[in-house]
Amino acid sequence: MGSGIAQVAAAAGHRVILADAQKGATARARDSMASALGKLVEKGKLAADARTALLGRIDFIDAPLGGAPAMYSDCGVVIEAIVEDREVKRTLFAALSGVIAPDAILATNTSSLSVASLASAATNPDRVIGVHFFNPAPVMPLVEIVPALSTDAAVTAAARALVDAWGKTTVLATDTPGFIVNRVARPFYGESLRILEEGIADCATIDWAMRTIGGFRMGPFELMDFIGNDVNYAVTSSVFEGMFYDPRYRPALTQRRLVESGRLGRKTKLGYYDYRDGAEMPKPGEDRELGGRIVDRVLVMLINEAVDALNLRIATAHDLDLAMTKGVNYPKGLLAWCDELGAPVVLELLDSLYEEYGEDRYRASPLLRRAAMAGATLSG
């Protein structure tokens, strides 16, 4: 992720320092970046001299984690993209804030940790902000801008303007667990896992339904295998803990067991599917009636999460829908999808799940209920 962000900044014409505490990591990053850019040259998407110039604007340096060497003193923006560990990030922020310029922006690429908590470790917390890229950073258009309680409004405006100038699509989110995308997307995985655990359908059938009937680019199980089950489980656990153990975000035991057994997905060649040489992908059951029920169940949970995020002012309606289409390639914004289906239809499906299971995970957002009663739209 760090090398991807560095590439984006360098492509925009900036001088960049890419540093890593692990010896040899930046050299590997340079080789990987050079190879990826070389392929763009071969395809005619990038001029050879532009590739050379881009790589020349990046200094690849091994640096101790806590040292925060003086090389950062001239940087106008420092973005950390290290391990998703609160204390490790806080240690780095404390060190960095002692050497960067007083007017520099100190940004975190955290996907789910509290920006306020990280900012409090810095001597200048008003300069700290969340700037969350999606992987791979050179390709994915979305960046979530997340100011902490302490962030100066001018820093928020400057960070957003900078990333916009890099050609990215920015959305503004409040500093809550998972921000927009990683919060709203939890039911895509969680409800699909519940359907699997109940024996209603297998992974291949659920994935087929979400792609073929729902219109999603990838099904939940193939996407979790692509992301890495360890990463997906960690984000879910972080959001669950950060939301005071709200049952809507409870992790699935099935995924925990996969992580414990080392079946992390494509990177280990075993996950929900078998990616080893010679393995065959299971064939889905293509019952469209069952597929529709699967899609309806997952979709109403996703919509409810987006509506509740709007109700709690996590982001504007525009940014909520933009984040889900640009950040995770959903076929439609969830609020617009709710308006298309009709809030009364979504509420009826959700209430039927609540009545069947009696679990708080299926509680409807108050805003969804109000919209259904008033015949109101939500996407603005």
| Residues labelled as active-site residues | 111, 132, 144, 182
CB 307 within 8 A of CB 338: yes
CB 112 within 8 A of CB 85: no
Q: Partners of 171 in the beta sheet? A: 144
> How would DSSP label each residue in 214-276?
T--SS-HHHHHHHH-HHHHHHHHHHHHHHTTT-GGGPPPHHHHHHHHTT--BGGGTBSSSB-S
- What whole-number distance in Å separates Cα of residue 130 and Cα of residue 177? 12
Please give the single-letter amino acid code of residue 238: S
- What whole-number distance in Å separates Cα of residue 261 and Cα of residue 182? 24
Strands (E) across 26-75 are located at 58-62
Helix (H, G, I), strand (E, B) or coil at 173: coil
Total residues found in the chain within this entry: 380
